[in-house]
Amino acid sequence: MKKPIAKPSLLAAVTQALVAALLVLAIAAPLAAAAGAKAHKAPLNPAFLRSLVEPPISVLSSAAGGHGLGDIPTPQDFSYARGMQVPGVRGTLPATYDLRTLGRVTSVKDQDSYGTCWAFASLASLESCLLPGETQDFSEDNMVLNSGFGPFSDGLYDHGGGWSMATAYLVRWGGPVNESEDAYGDNYTPPGLTPRKHVQEVSWIPSRGSALDNDNLKNAVMQYGGVNVSMSWPGSTGSSDSSYNAATASYYYEGSEWEGHAVLIVGWDDNYAAANFATTPPGPGAFIVKNSWGTSWGSSGYFYVSYYDSKFGRDGAVSSVLNNAESTSNYTGIYQYDPLGDVNDMWYGAPSPTGWFANVFTANATASLGAVGFYTVTPGTSYEVYSGASLATKTLRASGTLAYMGYHTVTLPSAMALTGGQRFAVAVKVTSLGTTHPIAEEYPIVGYSDAATAQAGQSYVSMDGSSWKDLTTLSGFAEDNVCLKAYTTGSSSPADTIGPVCAAKNVTVKRGKTCKISFQVHDALSAQVTTHVAITTNSGVVKKSWSWGYGESLPGWWEVKYTCRLARGTYRIVVTGEDLAGNSASVVGHATLKVK
């Protein structure tokens, strides 16, 4: 499966976009204040903006033996959480700890030359957290090809990803599926696959504030299992190869380049000798780390990383542990407007650690509202959950405090009856000390979360929980939804609240020649779907489109012949659809058309 290294494309255009974005960040706050704006998005992560013009994440490191990297920064800037402590999880920690000796780590895998470490580290955490009671081998290929993010000009395998993308894919019940159902590296996902688990909790761990600020990570490993963490292995120049000591399978990086690799912490050794590293760190101690470069690398696929490493679990990047995967029979339906999850965070009314947010849904079947799911963005966030026939009639259903930041499912002590065809509301109040942007939201960011959509009447925000504002009516928020899901139990049949999954294949054609546009629109819960295929410019101008009314929802790929008259260049193929329940595509198909 070896392949050439992807090359940067449209670098000049992306650079211009980056400059424009930075200018917006520089002037947005003053303008908003002058205009008396009532809502504000958190500034995008500077590391994410820099990544737009960095070399491809799949650039290889010579020390990696031809294996890829793949961890990219997220749009959210969580640097404010650096060094925050998770409350209520302190305890006596042993000097050494190793999940391998407890049978709580699955086998080492090999990502080959692709930029997919993020998927391997995320699913390795999920598999570890299920052990020792349950052994699973989940499909990284399915997560990479069906994340819903992009389109990426360098392809889904090469572009890279991160823990935030993995969280979104899993908590929307996009997966996981078994490795045996969707094999790695073939650029193909069989249609009609369904998740083997429902992931209901993903705990995010603040970045380390110092070399010895390790209790959060250690506690998570002991309490739950392997922890997905970002590190820096800058392979574009090989500069970090001197940081790796092959003789002892140890790594210590002192530089300042941003993280490029995701791995799994499986333990630690406080007494691991500083002399074992290629460059001697200030003191002893190391994490025991599982890599995704096969068993022939390192010490049977594992290595040690010094506590004093400048980037490992530091630099503002949170770590994650996928600590609650339940049976798919836990809930019968899910209502959501945020399939791409927490893209960034916001406040409404005024900068404050407290935020009110809500979604209004229409029940597709008679059932009971059993739980809600939402994100928190600091440790120790307190919450109140409300539900009712409307926001005006909502009542308090649950309250509490959540130790970890991340995604959480809160079970309602008493279920609320839902009637098919009737609207219902869920609302949440959070107080997240340490931030002034406590509300997680989803919206499109070009080249990342392009598929995010929103409509009026879906998401609402409030300053006091009494007077509510439709989020899409706020300036700069027309395409935004808050991140809030509702889970149902006890319906006679599963509520169809998830739209079709759409896909497209990249194609190259000479101008004046005919090619085949391959696409897929499939919905496991709907007998029929509509289909819309469009060829657009990178700015969204439609150059050619095809539409079909309701037709049979069949798995597999469909094709339409297209004689290309477009000017030479790169265009987008966008595939959407709708099911019989009126749900639009849960995953929009994206691909690239190159005209030579």
- Predicted local confidence at residue 525, as pLDDT: 76
Q: 146 with 166, same domain?
A: yes
Residue 447: pLDDT band (50, 70, 90) is: confident
Q: Pick from 489, 517, 538: which residue ends a domain?
A: 489
Give the model confidence (pLDDT) of 113-163 as tens digits.
Answer: 899 999 999 999 999 999 999 999 999 999 999 999 988 877 788 888 999
- Predicted local confidence at residue 257, as pLDDT: 77
Q: 355 with 477, same domain?
A: yes
Give the C-alpha separation, 219 to 474, whole Å. 41
Q: In the predicted model, is pLDDT for residue 369 greater than 80? A: yes
Of residues 229 and 151, more confidence is placed in: 229
Query: Which range of residues forms the domain containing residue 302?
Result: 56-323
Q: 444 with 516, same domain?
A: no
Q: 476 with 549, same domain?
A: no
In order of 171, 416, 419, 453, 454, the CA distances from 363 in angstroms are 20, 12, 6, 20, 18
**Dihedral sign of CA atoms 104, 106, 111, 115 in order:** negative
Rounded mean pLDDT of 535-549? 89
Cβ 388 vs Cβ 413: under 8 Å = no
In a domain, 5, yes or no: no
Q: 148 with 263, same domain?
A: yes
| DSSP code of residue 255 | -
In a domain, 15, yes or no: no
In a domain, 235, yes or no: yes
Nearest to residue 228, comparing CAs of 261, 270, 195?
A: 261
To 10 degrees, the CA torsion angle through 525, 531, 532, 538?
A: 50
Give the C-alpha separation, 592 to 596, whole Å. 13
- Predicted local confidence at residue 54, as pLDDT: 67
Q: What share of the chain is helix, strand, coil (3-state, %, to 5)?
A: 15, 35, 50
Q: Pick from 462, 489, 516: which residue ends a domain?
A: 489
Query: CB within 8 A of 112, min separation 6: which ones?
Result: 1, 2, 67, 68, 184, 185
Q: 560 with 507, same domain?
A: yes
- Predicted local confidence at residue 594, as pLDDT: 94
Specify the CATH number for the domain of residue 312: 3.90.70.10
Rounded mean pLDDT of 28-41? 52
Give the model confidence (pLDDT) of 241-274 as tens digits.
Answer: 688 999 999 999 998 877 689 999 999 999 999 9
Q: 266 with 386, same domain?
A: no
Specify the CATH number for the domain of residue 521: 2.70.50.30
- Predicted local confidence at residue 412, as pLDDT: 96
| DSSP code of residue 125 | H
- Predicted local confidence at residue 260, as pLDDT: 85
- Write out the H or E segment, with its range, that includes residue 305: strand 302-306
Cβ 491 vs Cβ 366: under 8 Å = yes
Q: In the predicted model, is pLDDT for residue 30 greater than 50? A: no
Give the C-alpha separation, 519 to 547, whole Å. 12
Q: 219 with 350, same domain?
A: no
Give the model confidence (pLDDT) of 318-357 as tens digits.
Answer: 999 999 999 999 999 999 999 999 999 999 999 999 999 9
In a domain, 3, yes or no: no
Give the C-alpha separation, 360 to 343, whole Å. 20
Per the structure, the count of domains in the chain is: 3
In a domain, 214, yes or no: yes
In a domain, 120, yes or no: yes
Nearest to residue 407, comparing CAs of 329, 340, 316?
A: 340
Q: 237 with 360, same domain?
A: no
Q: 522 with 469, same domain?
A: no
Nearest to residue 337, comparing CAs of 178, 454, 416?
A: 454
Q: Per this entry, what is the length of the chain?
A: 596
Nearest to residue 319, comparing CAs of 219, 259, 392, 229?
A: 229
- Predicted local confidence at residue 34, as pLDDT: 27
In a domain, 33, yes or no: no
Q: Pick from 299, 323, 347: which residue ends a domain?
A: 323
- Predicted local confidence at residue 487, as pLDDT: 97
Residue 94: pLDDT band (50, 70, 90) is: very high
- Predicted local confidence at residue 237, as pLDDT: 42
Residue 26: pLDDT band (50, 70, 90) is: very low
Residue 65: pLDDT band (50, 70, 90) is: low
Q: In the predicted model, is pLDDT for residue 2 greater than 60? A: no
Give the model confidence (pLDDT) of 528-541 as tens digits.
Answer: 788 989 999 988 89
Q: 84 with 100, same domain?
A: yes
Q: 150 with 74, same domain?
A: yes
In order of 197, 305, 341, 363, 549, the CA distances from 373 in angstroms are 16, 35, 11, 17, 34
- Order across the sheet with 481-482: list the strands: 39-41, 344-348, 439-442, 481-482
Percent of the chain with pLDDT over 70: 88
In a domain, 10, yes or no: no
Query: CB within 8 A of 75, min separation 6: which ones?
Result: 44, 45, 48, 164, 343, 344, 445, 448, 449
Rounded mean pLDDT of 60-80? 78
